[in-house]
Amino acid sequence: MAVNFQTLAPFGVELIGVNLSTVGDPYIDKLKHLLAHNGVGIMRKQSMSDADFVTFLQRLGSLTFTAGETPVPQQPWLNLVSNVGRRCPPKSVFHTDTSYIAQPPAYTALKAVSLPECGGETLFSNQYRAFETLPTSIKKKLANATVLHVASGVTLDHDQESQSWHPLFRRHPLSGKIALFLSTPDRCQAIKGLKLEKSQRVIRLLYQHSIRSYRLYRHRWQPGDLVIWDDRCTMHRADHSQVVGDRVLHRGLIAGEAPIKAALEP
C-alpha cells in the first residue's frame, strides 16, 4: 500500500492526506516502518476523539502508562500534558519516555487539544545521527557499554519499576539501524564498569552531542495535529520559553521490547 509523505528537515516525515481513524492494517505496518527509519511522523487535520485516539494507538501495539502521570478523565490509557493553572512553566529537557523500565515504550503519540497563541513547540533529536557522528574511537571504547536508567520526576509505589540497565548503543528491531540510547542525565546515572564521576561526565558529553541544535527537528503545532515518534531512536522536549496561553495535549504510549544491544563491527 502506498503511503504519501514528505520528508522534513533535518529529519522526520509528514504524512499527507491521511485519516488515521479509517486506515487499514497495511497502512499501520507502513507507518511503523516509516517511524523506524525517520523517527518522527506528523499527521495534520486529524479530527479524533480521545476514544478514536486510543483505538488508533491499540493498532500499533499494547498500550502502556507511565506511573505517576495524570490520566485523562474517562481515558485511563491517556495522560494529560498541560500548563493550565501553573505559575511557572513546566520543566522539560531532552529525554526518552519511561526509559527506566525493563521494556521502555516503543512509541509516544501526542494529540493537540488546546494550543497557545504562540510558543509551545516540541523538539526532537535524531539518535541514529547522534550515533553515526560519534568518533570511531569513542564507539570502540563504549561498544559494550550499558547505562543505568533511573526514574526521576515521577512518584512511584515501592513495587513499581524504578531503574533498569540498557545498552548505550541500541539496534532498532525494524530498521536494523543503531541509535545512541539515552535520556536526560538525571535519569542516566551510571555506566557499568566506570567510576561514577567518569560515568556521569561521559553521559553528559554524549547527551550534549545528541542535542546539537542544527540536528533538531522543531515541531510547530497546529490545530488537529497528531504527532507520533519512535522512542527507540529519538529524544524530545517541549519548549515552554515563549508560551502565551493554554497548552493542552493528550499523550498515549505503546509498549516496547527490551532494548537490543548493537554488536559493533571490530
- Could you give the CA distance from residue 135 to residue 121 in angstroms, rounded to a whole number? 31
Each residue's pLDDT tens digit, 97-118: 999 999 999 999 999 999 999 9
Is the bond into 10 cis (omega within 30 degrees of 0)? yes
Burial letters 141-154, b for 16+ CB under 10 A, else e? ebbebbbbbbbeee
Residue 30 CA to residue 236 CA, distance in Å, equals 23
- Rounded to whole angstroms, the Cα distance separating 178 from 260 reads 10
pLDDT band at 155 (very low <50, low <70, confident <90, very high): confident
CATH code at 5-257? 3.60.130.10
Secondary structure class of 236 (helix, strand, coil): strand
- 90 pLDDT tier (thresholds 50, 70, 90): confident
**What average pLDDT does this structure show over 58-82?**
96
Name the residue type at position 164: S
DSSP H helices in the chain? 25-38, 50-58, 127-132, 136-141, 196-210
Average pLDDT over residues 217-239: 98
**Among 151-160, 173-182, 237-246, which range has the highest average pLDDT?**
173-182
- How is residue 215 annotated by DSSP? G
Parallel, antiparallel, or unpaired: how do β-strands 226-230 and 107-114 relate?
Answer: antiparallel
| Alpha carbons 210 and 207: distance in angstroms, whole number | 5
**Residues 40 and 12: beta-carbon distance below 8 Å:** yes
Query: Using 50, 70 and 90 to split pLDDT, how confident is the model at 2?
Result: confident
Q: Taking 90 as the threshold, does the pLDDT of residue 32 lie above it?
A: yes
Is the dihedral angle over the CA atoms 133, 138, 140, 142 positive or is it negative?
negative
pLDDT in tens, 4-25: 999 999 999 999 999 999 999 9
pTM of the model: 0.96
Please give the Cα distance from 144 to 261 (Å, whole number): 8
Question: For 154, left (φ over 0), alpha (ψ -120 to 50), or beta?
Answer: beta
Residue 62 has pLDDT above 80, yes or no: yes
pLDDT of amino acid 266: 63
Which residue from 255, 230, 229 is spatially nearest to 105, judged by alpha carbons? 255
Residue 1 has pLDDT above 70, yes or no: no
Rg of the chain's alpha carbons, rounded to an integer?
Answer: 18
The predicted model gives 170-195 an average pLDDT of 97
d(CA 168, CA 91): 25
Q: How far apart (Å, rounded) are the C-alpha atoms in residues 118 and 14? A: 21
Q: Which of the four pLDDT bands, split at 50, 70 and 90, describes residue 265? A: confident
